[in-house]
Amino acid sequence: MEAALRAGKPVFWQNPLRRPVDELRGELSGVLADIRAAAARFSRFAPLLAELFPELRPTGGVIESQLLPLPEAIGAGGGREPVFLKADHLLPVAGSVKARGGFHAVLAVAERLALASGLLAGPDADSRLLGEGRSRAFFAGHTLSVGSTGNLGLSIGILGRALGFAVTVHMSDDARPWKKEKLREAGATVVEHAGDYAAACATARAAAAGDPTNHFIDDENSRDLFLGYAVAGLRLPVQLRPLGIVVSPQRPLCLHLPCGVGGAPGGIALGARLTLGDGALAIFVEPAEAPCMLLGLATGRHEAVSVKDMGLSGRTIADGLAVPRPSGLVCRLVAPVVDGVCTVTDAAMAGHVVAAWKRAGLRLEPAAAAGLAGPAMTRAAGLPRLAGKTASHVIWATGGGMLPDEAFEEILAMGEGRG
């Protein structure tokens, strides 16, 4: 596998460290309690979110997406197993999976500050108070900062600015221009860096150090981000029930999760496995040029290994996954949770974008379309937990709902060999 990995070819790595849920529940009981606390925070702040964003009023401020059945032609990789798309690319306000993690991290900062300053008398106070002028004036004296390839910065920038925070987003200069422009339109400050995502994060982290009014939301190390993502895994049983899907070791459910630094897929995978048990399988999907989580898990070196150590560029059309090193926090948490990691080339991702658009009318970013490679690669890998069983598959569409027409057309042209 190493030679193929170094050559940037698609590979599938089976995780030998995956353990039964019964063995993990005791070790991770505190994490599960924290995930439930994150879900409770979302509930407390739902009235505020509904007030700030009209598009959330139909759901009462709940941030959630649908499970959509996928046509066999694009979802099952030649098989006949049921395949669903988790439509996080259509999440209101921020248009990506980052709406959960990013929003939760911002709400956690806002709640801590509001309780300490007396803006909220207690955790059960009306969250809508934080949308009033007094609260906005207070938050204006604080900065939210983050290093981002795009979607995380958008989620933090949009909610942070809506609450009155100053927001600074550090981005590599090869991040998508339209995402930088949307951030500037929201009133965020965008700082561009000549290096990659990791370099942008390091600069943002250093700039916030020692400044109590600068709250750095660390994509590589933030527990609040991770917990926000994990809420989606906690909610899965409620969405699966109307579809007639009962998850068990005999009827497994495979989650195909595009992976960059690891926070979103790691949180979702952990939440799902703790909630659904051993019948839930988690497959991470990474770009062939940036398989940082695969390397971190397979070597056991976690954040101490970089894709550049393998001679890989780390550059990919899936800008949200263009990460050289995984999160050490996430890598350690998911080492006993994830079932495998597969990689996909840029050409394949662009092809999946085209197929999703032409056959199902889905407008996906390349990173979101990466998951479409998962079912076929997982079956071909021969995972023992799938042997002789009929599985259901959920492909997590992580972003794309906010793609401008011009940017989407460029991706389609690449996938069709026109660009």
Q: List, for residues 367-398, the tens digit of each pLDDT value.
A: 999 999 999 999 999 999 999 898 999 999 99
DSSP-based three-state secondary structure for 293: helix
pLDDT at 88 (0 to 100)? 97
Q: How confident is the model at residue 345 (pLDDT cuts 50, 70, 90)?
A: very high
Q: Is 73 left (phi over 0), alpha (psi -120 to 50) or beta?
A: alpha
- Which one is predicted more confidently, 77 or 271? 271
Residue 305: pLDDT over 60: yes
Give pLDDT, residue 76: 52
Query: 128, exposed or middle or buried, with CB in 10 Å at 0-12, 13-18, 19+?
Result: middle
Average pLDDT for 179-193: 92
Q: What is this structure's pTM?
A: 0.95
Portion of the chain with pLDDT greater than 70, in percent: 98
Structure tokens at 230: 């994990």
Cα–Cα distance for residue pair 211/207, rounded to 1 Å: 8
Render pLDDT for 106-131 as a digit per residue (tens, 0 to 9).
999 999 999 999 999 999 999 999 99
Tell me the C-alpha distance between 322 and 291, whole Å: 9
The pLDDT tens digits of the residues spanning 37-50 come to 999 999 999 999 99
How far apart (Å, rounded) are the C-alpha atoms in residues 286 and 9?
A: 11
* Segment 153-182, tens digit of pLDDT: 999 999 999 999 999 999 887 778 899 999
